Amino acid sequence: MNMTRRNFLNTAGLLGASTLAAGSVPASALGATGKSRTPRVQLGACTYSYWHLDGPVVSIETVLDKLGALGVAGVDILHRQMDLPEKEPLAPAHRAYLRKLKRHAFHCGVAPVCMSTHQTFLSPDPAVITENVEHTKKCIEICYELGIPSMRINTGRWGTSRDFDELMKNRGIEPVLPGHTEDEGFQWAIDGITRCLHKAEECGVVLALENHWGLARTPEGLLRILNAIPSPWLGALMDTGNFLENPYSKLELIAPRTVYVQAKTYPGGGVWYTLDLDYDRIARILADVGYTGWVSLEMEGKQNADQAVADSLKMLRKKFAV
C-alpha cells in the first residue's frame, strides 16, 4: 500500500495520541515541573444512563451494545442493573454470568472501568455494618471477576427520610438518627470502609467514595473520611451533579483527591432536579489538578436515552477534548 507524506503524518499523529492515552507522555509535552501541559482523560458512560432504577431493567449487555456503537471507551456498571441478586453470596452461576459479561464487553470494544454499588455504614448496630462490609467485599470480588479497576462506594444515609423523593425535596439533607450524633456516624463509616480495604488491595480495586447523600454530601464530610483513612486504595469519586448549591467551589475542594468522575447531564429535565453545569469550568478544575483518569457520563434526564446519551457524549468529548 502506498503511503503519502500526509497519510504518514496523520498515522503518526494517531499513534502519538494513543501513546498519550496509555499514559506515556513525551518529554516535549512536559512543562518545567515535569507535569503534562495538557492532561488527558478517557471518556466512558454509566449504564445508569439508560436505566434510572425504575421501569423494566435495561440489561448490561444491551448497554454495552449501544456504547460500542457510539465508540465509547469505557463503561461504569451499576451493580443493581446486573442480572444478579444484590445481597446473596457469589455462586458459580453468578460467576459464569460475569464471565459472559466480560466477554461481551470485549467483543463490543468497551472496557469495564468502574462498578457503582450501594451500601450503608450509618447504623449503630454492629451486625448491620458487618453485613454491609461483607456486601462491599462481595462487590469487590465482582470487580475482580470483570477486571474492573475501581468501585464506587457510599457512606449510606441516616434513613430518617420517608423515601428518596423526600430526601431530594430536602436537597439531600437528612436528620441524624435520633439518639446519635454525626461524629458517631463518621466513626461508623470510617471503620466500615477501613474493613474493606484489605480486600480492595488484594483484588487490585480502588474504592472511590462518592460525594453522595449522607456524610459525604459536603466536601468537608467527604474529605474528613478520606483524611482519616490514608490508603492508596481509597479516593474520591467526583459526581458533578451532587453538590446542589455552589458546586464549583466544592468540586475544587475534592478535585485533588479525585480518582474517578461521573459527569451528570439532564436532557429533557432531571428526574429529581436539574443543574445547568458549566463543563468548560469543570474540565479546567480537573485539568488544574492534573487529573488524567476516567470521566463517565451519567445521563439523568427524561429525554429518550439513546438520543440523550449520544448528545451528552458529543458535548463531553468537546469539553474534555477527547
**CATH number where 222 lies:** 3.20.20.150
For residues 188 and 287, give the distance between their C-alpha atoms in angstroms, rounded to a whole number.
34
pLDDT at residue 33, rounded to an integer: 46
Residue 24 lies in a domain: no
pLDDT at residue 187, rounded to an integer: 98
Contact 165, 128 (CB under 8 A): no
Q: At what angle do helices 247-254 and 219-228 cross, to 10 degrees?
A: 10
Cβ-Cβ contacts under 8 Å for 98 (sequence gap 6 or more):
142, 145, 146
pLDDT at residue 245, rounded to an integer: 92
pLDDT at residue 28, rounded to an integer: 31
Cβ-Cβ contacts under 8 Å for 19 (sequence gap 6 or more):
26
Residue 20 lies in a domain: no
Cβ-Cβ contacts under 8 Å for 140 (sequence gap 6 or more):
151, 196, 199, 200, 203, 205, 207
Residue 31 lies in a domain: no
- The number of folded domains in the chain is 1
Handedness of CA 186, 116, 87, 203 (dihedral sign): negative
What parts of the chain have a pLDDT lower than 70?
Answer: 1-39
Residue 259 lies in a domain: yes
Residue 1 lies in a domain: no
Domain extent for 206:
37-320
Residue 29 lies in a domain: no
SS3 223: helix
For residues 178 and 35, give the distance between their C-alpha atoms in angstroms, rounded to a whole number.
49
pLDDT at residue 119, rounded to an integer: 96
For residues 161 and 156, give the distance between their C-alpha atoms in angstroms, rounded to a whole number.
13
pLDDT at residue 29, rounded to an integer: 35
pLDDT at residue 222, rounded to an integer: 98
pLDDT at residue 158, rounded to an integer: 86
Where are the extended beta strands (E) located within the chain?
Answer: 42-46, 74-78, 111-116, 150-153, 206-210, 234-239, 258-265, 294-299
pLDDT at residue 159, rounded to an integer: 81
The single residue listed with the C-alpha cell 471518556 is 43
Where are the extended beta strands (E) located within 57-99?
Answer: 74-78
pLDDT at residue 38, rounded to an integer: 54
Residue 202 lies in a domain: yes
3-state helix, strand, coil in the chain (%, to 5): 45, 15, 40
For the record, the C-alpha cell of 98 comes out as 460475569
Selection from 57, 207, 186, 63 nearest residue 140 by Cα: 207
Selection from 309, 315, 312, 321 nearest residue 69 by Cα: 309
For residues 157 and 176, give the distance between their C-alpha atoms in angstroms, rounded to a whole number.
9
For residues 94 and 45, give the distance between their C-alpha atoms in angstroms, rounded to a whole number.
24
Residue 17 lies in a domain: no
